[in-house]
Amino acid sequence: GNSVTQMEGPVTLSEEAFLTINCTYTATGYPSLFWYVQYPGEGLQLLLKATKADDKGSNKGFEATYRKETTSFHLEKGSVQVSDSAVYFCALSEGFQKLVFGTGTRLLVSP
Amino acid sequence: GAVVSQHPSRVICKSGTSVKIECRSLDFQATTMFWYRQFPKKSLMLMATSNEGSKATYEQGVEKDKFLINHASLTLSTLTVTSAHPEDSSFYICSASGGRGTDTQYFGPGTRLTVL
């Protein structure tokens, strides 16, 4: 079946460092791809999405490009802030709104 | 943005009892709601999908007689864990979607269930 694999965390960075969180997927067909973020004590929030190959999703300085040839959707940010500390989930949509999630990657940013 | 709440945030119960978890969409009408279960260091696993006014669709391997889902209104869905056992201890998360054809789900903060 469809699946999503994320790098294990935690990822620990200093403020203003460059961030990459790797995400690869296995899917039949052409899924939509998502990044969700979960801040402490809150529900998951949609961070960005891409619906077809070569699309780039972006939001709040975060970017991810749908790479069909490498089945990847890596999350990047050029300069992280302490407020970016959270758990990040990569996910794909199988259609009919069904989401398949990765295990999540915790990001810790220190001042 | 759209807000989804869950109640309670934490619950501890004795083995054999039933527990009800509520999921509410506070500022939009949720035609579809989803219930997920999350194990430590594991991804969210979809348990069931419910559309307002109709029976929930359960994922393979999820016992529908154990996990009762009701979606009686456009702003409320409930998950009842019946005759809970320690292996049912988990983090339960709901999400809501505003309509068919939209693929954005809005998530609640989750409910931690501990069965003693």
Name the token pair of A63.
């970017």
The closest alpha carbon to A102, from A47, A46, A52, A34, belongs to: A34
**Nearest CA-CA distance, residue A51 and chain B, Å:** 10
Q: Does A5 touch chain B (CB under 8 A)?
A: no
- Name which of B103, B107, B109 is nearest A97 (Cβ-Cβ): B103
What CA–CA distance (Å, rounded) separates B59 from A35?
23
Kindly identify which residue of chain B lies nearest to residue A40, measuring between CA atoms: B109
> What pLDDT digit, counting tens, does each position of B8-30 carry?
999 999 999 999 999 999 988 88
Residue of A46, A96, A97 to mutate, testing the B interface (most B Cβ within 10 Å of its Cβ):
A97
> What pLDDT digit, counting tens, does each position of B103-116 carry?
678 899 999 999 99
A:B CB pairs within 8 Å: 48
Q: Does A89 touch chain B (CB under 8 A)?
A: yes
Q: Give the number of C-alpha atoms closer than 13 A to the C-alpha of residue B113, restricted to the C-beta side.
A: 30
pLDDT for position B99: 56
Burial class, A101, CB count within 10 angstroms (exposed 0-12 / middle 13-18 / buried 19+): buried
pLDDT for position A96: 63
To the nearest whole percent, how much of chain A has pLDDT over 70?
Answer: 98
- Contacting residues of B for A44, CB less than 8 Å apart: 93, 95, 107
Q: Does A106 touch chain B (CB under 8 A)?
A: no
- Label residue A73 by pLDDT band (50, 70, 90): very high
**DSSP secondary structure string, B30-64?**
-SEEEEEEE-TTS-EEEEEEEETTSPPEEPTT--T
- Contacting residues of B for A32, CB less than 8 Å apart: 103
Q: Is A89 helix (H, G, I), strand (E, B) or coil?
A: strand
pLDDT of residue A97 exceeding 80, the answer is no
Q: What is the mean pLDDT of residues A71-85?
A: 97
> What pLDDT digit, counting tens, does each position of A5-31 carry?
998 889 999 999 999 999 999 998 889
- Name which of B42, B44, B97 is nearest A97 (Cβ-Cβ): B97
Kindly identify which residue of chain B lies nearest to residue A35, measuring between CA atoms: B104
Cis peptide leading into residue B86 (ω within 30°): no
pLDDT for position B101: 54
Q: Does A46 touch chain B (CB under 8 A)?
A: yes
In this structure, the strands spanning B111-115 and B10-13 are parallel
Q: Is A84 helix (H, G, I), strand (E, B) or coil?
A: helix
Is there a contact between B95 and A44 if contact means CB atoms under 8 Å apart? yes
